[in-house]
Amino acid sequence: MTADCIFCKIVKGEIPSTRILETDEVYSFLDINPINPGHLLVIPKKHFNTIFEIPDSILAELMPCVKRLSKAVYRAVSAEGINIVQNNYRAAGQLIDHAHFHVIPRFSNDGFLTSWPGKTASPEDLNRVKEKILNLLEK
Ligand code: 5GP
Ligand code: ZN
DSSP code string of the chain: --TT-HHHHHHHTSS---EEEE-SSEEEEE-SS-SSTT-EEEEESS--SSGGGS-HHHHHHHHHHHHHHHHHHHHHTT-SEEEEE---SGGGT--SSS--EEEEEE-TTS-S---PPPPP--HHHHHHHHHHHHHH---
Domains assigned to the chain: 6-136 (3.30.428.10)
- How far apart CA 138 and CA 56 sit, in angstroms, is 13
From the list 22, 31, 23, 40, the residue with the least C-alpha distance to 82 is 40
- Ligand 1 lined by 87 (C-beta under 6 Å): yes
> pLDDT tens across 43-71, in order?
999 999 999 999 999 999 999 999 999 99
> pLDDT tens across 21-42, in order?
999 999 999 999 999 999 999 9
Atom of ligand 1 nearest to the CA of 15: 19
Cα 72 from chain centroid? 16
Amino acid 51 reads I
- Of the listed ligands, the closest to the CA of 4 is 2
pLDDT at 26: 98
Per-residue confidence at 3, pLDDT binned at 50, 70, 90?
confident
Taken as a whole, the chain contains a residue count of: 139
Is 100 among the residues known to form the active site? yes
Atom of ligand 1 nearest to the CA of 17: 22
Q: How far is the CA of 67 from the centre of ligand 2 (A)?
A: 22
| 1 pLDDT more than 60 | no
